[in-house]
Amino acid sequence: MAYPEGNRTWQIIHNAKKGGYGVGGFCVYNTEGVLAVIKAAERCRSPALIQFFPWSMHFQGPAFIKFAAEAAHAASVPIAVHLDHCLKPSDADMALECAFDSIMVDGSMFEEEENIRYVKSVVDRAREKNMTVEAELGRMEGGEDGLPTVDLESVWTDPGRAAEFVKQTGVHFLAPSFGNVHGPYPPGGAEKHWQLDRLEKIHEALGEATPLVLHGTHPLSDEMVKVGMAKGMVKVNQNRNVRNGYHKYLEENCSMVELTTLQVQGVEEYAKGVERLMVEVLGSSGRA
């Protein structure tokens, strides 16, 4: 199949866009996270994306990414493996040699013209690897575990530039900045700070060809995720929200049970958080 239609991430996200549901991009840090997303997706008959930060490439290494990709691709439902927030060109070089289905190129710390050059250079090389590319236009504040905190002011995405940015870079998915932030929101939360009119205009400018990606979902109510989806978001990134039960179980049992039990039950608790989102929020359950 031709590029990018033959790419696993492209298929998962475009099927979700056509079907009117969201697909979760679940950030994981260990084997338990990989297994939990696969278990949840298979039980819910839902597509999913397993996401890593560049931290995993360096700490766990390319062999771990290969393991995750092989496990994901062996699942009975469509699951892709994605690299989130590739900030450094050297990390992009490394990612292109790993087993990712797709990568997010984050040039938001650059001025727009340099961002365009950076993203386009990665897209051109990713094509040769049958990888698709997500990019951020504008800049979101904050940081996440495994990512450096961006100590720069937010730059909101200009709806009038969105389509041209996609055309100039060849990027396949766009992560807009419209008041969303990584990590805790300022007082008033997303309800106060999201510029929904801006998001709606970005969606209108891009049309059906370029799906939107929601970043900045912690903490975020189920209702606000649904609002974002109604305004055009298709890929919905998740990190801490789906891990709360897993963390609680580890805190309460890490010195009480054998390591094998801790891992098996930890995966189960982790999977429950992923399943809840698939069923109650994204609407992806039963779509695979």
85 is known to lie in a ligand binding site: yes
Does 158 qualify as catalytic in the annotation? no
Exactly one of 84, 91, 101, 158 is catalytic; name it: 84
- The answer on whether 73 is annotated among ligand-binding residues is no
Q: Is 215 annotated as a binding residue?
A: yes
Q: How many whole angstroms separate alpha carbon 46 and alpha carbon 284?
A: 5
DSSP string, the chain: --TTTT-HHHHHHHHHHHHT--EEEEE--SHHHHHHHHHHHHHHT--EEEEE-HHHHHHT-HHHHHHHHHHHHTSSS-EEEEEEEE-SHHHHHHHTTTT-SEEEE--TTS-HHHHHHHHHHHHHHHHHTT-EEEEEESB--B--TTS--B-S--B---HHHHHHHHHHH--SEEEE-SS--BSSPPTTHHHHH--HHHHHHHHHHHTTSS-EEE---TT--HHHHHHHHHTTEEEEEESGGGGHHHHHHHHHHTTTS-HHHHHHHHHHHHHHHHHHHIIIII--TT--
Comparing C-alpha atoms, which of 130, 67, 66 is closest to residue 98? 66
Binding-site residue set = 85, 106, 136, 182, 215
Question: What is the set of active-site residues?
Answer: 84
Which residues are annotated binding-site positions for Zn(2+)? 85, 106, 136, 182, 215
